[in-house]
Structures are given as structure tokens and as C-alpha cells.
Amino acid sequence: MNAPFEGIGASVRRKEDLRFISGHGHYVDDMNRPNQLYAYIRRSDRAHAELRGIDTAAAQAAPGVAAVYTAADLAGIGGLPCGWQIHNKDGSPMAEPAHPVLASGKVRHVGDPVAVVVAATKQQAKDAAELLVIDYADLPAVASVTDAIKPGAAQLHEAAAGNVCYDWEIGDKGAVDAAFARAAKTVSLDLTNNRLIPNAMEPRAAIGDYDPTTGDHTLYTTSQNPHVIRLLMGAFVLQIPEHKLRVVAPDVGGGFGSKIYHYAEEAIVTWVAARLGRPVKWAAERNESFMSDAHGRDHVSTAELALDAEGHFLALRVHTLCNMGAYLSTFGPAVPTYLYATLLAGVYKTPAIHAEVKAVFTNTVPVDAYRGAGRPEASFLLERLVDVAARDTGMDRVEIRRRNFIPKDAFPYQTPVALQYDSGDYVSTLEAAMKHADWAGFPARRAAAKAKGRLRGIGMSTYLEACGIAPSKVVGSLGARAGLYEVANIRVHPTGSVTVFTGTHSHGQGHETTFAQLVADQLGVPFSQVEVVHGDTGKIPFGMGTYGSRSLAVGGSAMVKAVDKIVAKGRKIAAHLLEAAVEDVEFKDGKFTVAGTDRSKTLGEIALTAYVPHNYPIEELEPGLDETAFYDPKNFTYPGGCHVCEVEIDPETGVVSVVNFTAVDDVGRVINPMIVEGQVQGGVAQGIGQALLENAVYDKDGQLLSGSFMDYTMPRADNLPNITVGTESTLCTHNPLGVKGCGEVGAIGSPPAVINAVVDALSEFGVRHLDMPASPQKIWSIIQGAPRMAAE
């Protein structure tokens, strides 16, 4: 009987599922340490205020309370560091104000942590926190970027004059101005990218533990990158050397970016555990997630496109104001610059691009990368602008795209905004998506909808994104304070089973399955014989974690390198055993064979020999079969594709229903199609959420109005359609697997497709643009307020 195929390309069912479907996952809040205390964090309910004093006496005396701490107790502890420094147009570094672990002197956003109460139970800690008397003197607040840069606006930080973090630019302004001067047609569009709250279903949590007999600290935390947390917290905040600090990110219930960053609570529980000599747990309530997890997006932009008489794009000019929130989150400054403005070429051969980005502090939760991170903002701007250009010039939406696509024979393609794309075929994804979505049959469906009194529209986006952010040298020159390689350690055990230790982290992506498939395929061992270990700095080598759809493109490439080392060593051992020359030994399907003979040894036999080296070339070769490889990417990868959305609007209510959604993406080589489809569907759901439902709303005084699931509209099952997913792949040319990444394509490609469809549905009302979310109220108002342009 043939074993089922479980290698690269097979939709293998997931290894991780059994523990999750049976209730045996190990999320941080499921864990408890003996003698554990509970921390509760009292947060600011003011957007901006002076902290005049905190009376802790009543809280200290409350039942069960072990300790109460405020900023005064944390003297000597560093602030939360920022991992990316952007430089202004004039070359000076960005404003980088201090980000204290507990608010010191002032609070700057609702949710800013002010004090920590530690008690025997969570309820006791929470009850006691209510007894803290905090003397605030309210200050005027600013919540929007446009308000924050006005003269006379409330100022958040002395170190950031005018609330400006940086004023940055990319591209050739002279070339763009010249192109606009000679353009046959120019198109301009003002648009916002709505602020989002990530809302992974597992709220953040952390447990600090300390062993006074060894001085070892352990932090269990809901993180996408435990080594990054160890480095940032150990080196910059608590000054704990790496060998005395272990960070464990066990099962993590979704991240979407929000669990990349080093948060105050991680430092708090680690510090308190050492101070009190007892483990300390903190677990966020959902309202804390809303006001303390890094938010996403929040751009206000003006985009202008210059075209020639035939509709060829000549130049693109973009001005963007982006919201950093009250403090710089770990990678906040990088998102609206190197993950946004560098993507403004999209899939188009626009020869000149200039973008100016001004980052602004406001009295809101810090903003950082959220699924897509900068690329959804770029794709929304570009794909809306292209649709508007088609409308304003009377061109067909598909034709204007085709006319401006980078042709498939133009790779490698150097854009005017720094990136060099390695591969792609935008016509093939466009045509496949149009076919799957039956674009040609749309007029009949529109007519049928109209007969029922409903408004039907169709829209597309032809997007591109960049994943696997790299190489380290390049990102370093752009201001990253970290390397962006990945590591894999492959340990072939004496009897031939394999453990893979990866620096990436799985929090829903299915790495335990995909990576096992990959290594099983490459080593020719059964899938069931490969185990993937991640998430514990005590076990895994120093790796950078999971974000930016990097895990397979960067982490998987490191695995291939490690496999190559295993095979190279195995060939030497096999050559010795088979009394052949090393160069005559071939490795295939788990066997080392002397070329042209039937003499061979299995990987298991080689492994056993390596660990029991009785007959072994011990003079030339170390025992063991255990190899580590670090992989630093040569370039980003460039997934792209075409998303087509079809909507129906009920004119009576303004409610938009997504009736069809088709995503055809080029994600490079696919290891597990089932998992890729799931990633795309999930990303599209978040994109539809952004386009139609989700919005983080602050009032002008900085109060978060959308601070719960009752106020912030998460997509539910009955808001979403079935999502048709296809892949049309070109291979990445610079990594060994040809993979590009699939985690974010859904969230990047879908929002403009949805809005383009909504605008199309509303075309008879003269609608040219609609900002997200396209809520029923907005649409109903348009339908009620606008005179019908087209006569029946």
C-alpha cells in the first residue's frame, strides 16, 4: 500500500489541531505557576492629563494585596524601546520620546498604564485597583492627525515639536513635478485609511517567574517573536542578560501583528516576580485589549496621478499623514514609510513617484503593524486612485490596469521607490480572477438585482505586496535596529526521527504542519517522523519570529539550508560506510546511494552511525547529525494578484452584502494548499471587515468610543460570503523554495476591491469615492441625499 503523499503540495491535515479541538491547547492564561500572584493594571481613563499624585494607601491595605507599584517604584528601569529609526527629509533622526513602562508625569492616552496592583487573586487585585486615588489635571487632547498638526494643538511630548515624529520622503520630486507639468490628464483623490483594532481572539497575557536560587527569570507571554522580546526587554528595559532570561510564547491565539511588540505588561510581570519572589500573572480583559494593543492603519492621504492621453501613468504624487499614537510602538515608524511608500508602484510601471509621509503623535493608543502593515494602505490608495482615474478619463477599469501593468518579461523590475521586484505575472492573475468571478456575466446579474430593487456593483484590485522583509544589511541602512534573518536547527535523532527548531512562531498559521511537510519532503522521511518546535528561547536558536508573511520565505529557507548541511554531512558518512568517494554518493528520497549501484544507506542508518560512531571517519568528521543554519534573504518577496468583489446594496437600509468574492493570488510555491486557502480566506475576512464594518473611533477629546465588541464591529459569519481562492504562481527567484508568503495577501488585496465594488454599485448616484468603512449609514445618506443622475 502506498503511503499518502504528505510532501510539498499536499493538503495535509494539521498536526496541531487535535489539541485545539479537544480543549488541550496551552495558551498563556491556561497556565498557572505554583504560589502565583495576580497583577491588575490600573489604566488612565483620561486621554491627556498631568499625573499629580497617586494615593495607594487604601489599595495597599485591601484584602489579599501583596504590593502596589507606580512609576516612582520603577526608577532605574528603562523605557520601552523602538526598533526602527526613521530620518527626516533633512537627515536628522525622528523624534523619539520616552515610553515609560508606567506613565510618569503625564498620561497620554486612554489605557496608558498608571499603576499595578498585585494580589492573591485576580478579583482582589482588581478590587484594590479601584481604591487607588489618582490625582489628574486634565490637559487638552488631540486624537486625529489633522488636529494634531494644527497650530496651537495640544502637545504630547517636549521631544516632538508640533507633535511631529518625522517628516519623510521617498522618490524623485523633480521628475514627478515635470511629469505632472506635461500630463494630458491628472487625477486627484483625498482618502483616509481607517484605524483598526486587531482583536486577536486571545487577549494578551503574561506570567513572570523567578528562581532566586539561580537568578533565572522566565516570562510566558502571548508573543509572535519570543527572542525579540527577550532581547528588547532584557537589554533595554530590565537589564537582564540573555542567559538569565527565558521567554516562552506557547500556543498563541492569533496575533495579526498586535503580538509582535514589546509591551509594558511583559516587563511589569517579570520585574514584579523577581521583586516579590513569586510568579505573577496578568491577563488582559478585552477592554484592555482595545485600549492597549497596538492599533493599525490610520492614514489621511492625498494622491495624484498624471496620465498621458492614452491612459499611461506618468507619475504619482502622494502626501500622507499617519498616526503614531501617543508613543512609538516597537516597529510603528517603519510601517508608513518602508512598508507603505515603497509599495506605491504597485503592479504598475509608473516611471516617477514621490511620496511625503508625516508621522504624528496623538492622544491615542500607539499604532503599529496590523495584518498587511503599510501595504494595505498602499494598495487601497493606489487601487482606488486607478479606479477613479478610469472613471475620470472614461476608460475601462480593466483596460487601464492592463495598459499599465509591468509586463511579465520585465523582471527583475526596478521601481522608482527603491524596491526591485523579482517575478510576477499580473495578467495571469487578473484573467484567472475575472474568469472565476465571471466578470463578463456581471451586467446580467446587475440587471437581475435591479429588477429586485437592489443595487449591484463589481470591483477589482490588482495589488502587489512585499514580504519577508530583508536583507538585514539593507533594512539596517533604512533604520532597522535588528537583523531580519531567520534560523533553523534540524536535529536528526539516532533512530532517524527529526526535530526542527525554528525561530519563527506559529499562532494560527499551521507551521507545525507546513514545516514538517517541508523538512519531511527534503529529507525523505515520513511526515509523522518530523516534529516542529518553536516559541521557547530556552529551546530554539536566536530567530526573529513571525510577521510580514516571512515564516516560510525566510524561516523555510533557513530549513532548506540546514537540510543541505545534514545531507552534506550524511554523504560523507555514507561514503565512509559504503567505501565510496563522497562525490559519488547521491541523496534522494531519504537514501544515500553510490551512483550507478544499488549500494545505499538510509538516513536512519546514517544517523545511528553518527551518534554511535564505532565505524566512523572520526578524524575528519564530528559525531552527531544536528545542523543549524541562518538565512538572510537577498530581497523581499513580492506576492500579488487580483481580487474581485461583487456586492449588493439594499437601498432601503444602505446595507452592503458581499455576494461573491474571488481572490487569485501569486504566493509563489505552495507547500500546503489547504493552509494557504485558509490564510487567504482569513485575510480577506479582515479586509472585508475593514472595508465595511470595522472602525476605531475616538471623540475629539481622545476617548475611545469603539472600546468593546458592542461598539467595534467585528466581522461575523453572517457578514461574510464564501470566499473563492485560487493561486496562479510565479516562483520567487531568490529563495531556495520559490515561495513568497500568503499570510497578508487577503487583507491587502481585498479592501480596495470591496470599495471599488460599492462605488460601482452607487455609480448612478454620482459617487466617486467612499472612505472605509462603507457603513449602512454612510450609504443610506448618499442614496437619500443625492439626486439620481441616471434616468430610468
Partner 1 sequence: MPQVTLSVNGKSHTVEVEGRTLLVELLREKLGLTGTHVGCDTSQCGACVVHVNGASVKSCTMLALQADGAQVTTIEGLAKPDGTLHPMQEMFREHHALQCGFCTPGMVMSAIDLVNAHPEGLTEEQIRHGLEGNLCRCTGYHNIVKAIAAAWPLMHGRQMAAE
- State the residues that interact with partner 1 by CB under 8 A: 13-14, 16-25, 27, 29-30, 123, 199-203, 251-254, 256, 285-287, 507-510, 674-675, 677-679, 681-686, 708-710, 714-718, 720, 722-723, 746
Please report how many Cα atoms fall inside a 13 Å half-sphere around the Cα of residue 635, on the Cβ side. 21
Counting beta carbons within 10 angstroms of the beta carbon of residue 526, is it exposed (0 to 12), middle (13 to 18) or buried (19 or more)? Answer: middle
Report the candidate in 168, 463, 430, 178 with the shortest Cα–Cα distance to residue 345: 463
Report the candidate in 358, 374, 381, 399 with the shortest Cα–Cα distance to residue 305: 381
Please report how many Cα atoms fall inside a 13 Å half-sphere around the Cα of residue 751, on the Cβ side. 32
Which residues fall within 8 angstroms of residue 733, CB to CB, at 6 or more apart? 411, 412, 422, 423
Residue with Cβ nearer partner 1 (514 or 730): 514
**Cell output for 738:** 520559490
Q: In which order are the strands placed within the sheet that holds 49-55?
A: 106-107, 49-55, 133-138
CA 293 centroid distance within chain: 13
Per DSSP, what are the bridge partners of residue 210? 217
Distance CA 508, CA 527 (A): 20
Which residues fall within 8 angstroms of residue 579, CB to CB, at 6 or more apart? none
Distance CA 374, CA 342 (A): 9
Query: CB of 250: closest distance to partner 1 in angstroms?
Result: 12
Residue with Cβ nearer partner 1 (530 or 720): 720
DSSP tag of 344? T
Query: CB of 17: closest distance to partner 1 in angstroms?
Result: 4
Residue type, 504: T
Counting beta carbons within 10 angstroms of the beta carbon of residue 681, is it exposed (0 to 12), middle (13 to 18) or buried (19 or more)? Answer: middle
Residue with Cβ nearer partner 1 (199 or 461): 199
Residue type, 566: I
Q: By the 8 A CB rule, do 341 and 306 touch?
A: no
Long-range own/partner contacts, residues 434-442 (CB < 8 A, 24 or more apart): 434/398, 434/460, 434/642, 434/644, 436/644, 436/662, 436/664, 436/724, 436/726, 437/644, 437/646, 437/660, 437/662, 437/724, 439/398, 439/644, 442/646
CA distances from 288 to 115, 343, 686 (A): 14, 33, 21
Query: CB of 286: closest distance to partner 1 in angstroms?
Result: 4
Sign of CA dihedral 308, 312, 314, 319: positive
Report the candidate in 330, 320, 450 with the shortest Cα–Cα distance to residue 83: 330
DSSP tag of 353? E
Residue indicated by cell numbers 532584557: 234
Distance CA 228, CA 226 (A): 5
Residue with Cβ nearer partner 1 (92 or 123): 123
Query: CB of 679: closest distance to partner 1 in angstroms?
Result: 8
Q: By the 8 A CB rule, do 687 and 371 touch?
A: no
Residue length, the chain? 792
Please report how many Cα atoms fall inside a 13 Å half-sphere around the Cα of residue 29, on the Cβ side. 12
Query: CB of 715: closest distance to partner 1 in angstroms?
Result: 8
Query: CB of 432: closest distance to partner 1 in angstroms?
Result: 19
Residue 326: strand, helix, or coil: coil
Residue with Cβ nearer partner 1 (88 or 657): 657
Residue 356 phi, psi dihedral angles, 5° rounding: -115, 130
Which residues fall within 8 angstroms of residue 567, CB to CB, at 6 or more apart? 523, 587
Report the candidate in 292, 296, 298 with the shortest Cα–Cα distance to residue 194: 298
Residue with Cβ nearer partner 1 (471 or 678): 678
Residue type, 725: V
